[in-house]
Amino acid sequence: GEDVEQSLFLSVREGDSSVINCTYTDSSSTYLYWYKQEPGAGLQLLTYIFSNMDMKQDQRLTVLLNKKDKHLSLRIADTQTGDSAIYFCAEGLTGANNLFFGTGTRLTVIP
């Protein structure tokens, strides 16, 4: 549960879709989370997916989970400048009380 990897940077144009990727290594993951962190702020929960699901959609956000490849992605449709932030994926493991976070992906939205 300690190897959660994300690419560090992503730039997209306003109005395009953003796709942020995450890979994890622990097969006992139960829930997988996406958090957003704006400059100088704490973490805001965006969405989560249970490990027996393949996809979850919540307004502009779509989470895809490929459990075989241990790959998680967050798609943001119609990306806005207010979406510029750091996005963290995190996994919760069976029997663990805490979350394991990736290093975060800094999303920059170009007007």
Partner 1 sequence: ETGVTQSPTHLIKTRGQQVTLRCSSQSGHNTVSWYQQALGQGPQFIFQYYREEENGRGNFPPRFSGLQFPNYSSELNVNALELDDSALYLCASSLGRGGSQETQYFGPGTRLLVL
Q: Which residues bind partner 1 (CB under 8 A)?
A: 4, 30-31, 35, 41-45, 48, 88, 90-104
> Which CB sits closer to partner 1, 16 or 26?
26
Please give the Cα distance from 87 to 106 (Å, whole number).
Answer: 6
> Which CB sits closer to partner 1, 17 or 44?
44
User: Given 3-state DSSP classes, what are the helix, strand and coil percentages for the chain, each rounded to the nearest 5?
Assistant: 5, 60, 40
Contacts of 41 (CB under 8 A, 6+ apart): none
To the nearest whole angstrom, how small is the minimum distance from the Cβ of residue 48 to partner 1? 7
> Which CB sits closer to partner 1, 8 or 111?
8
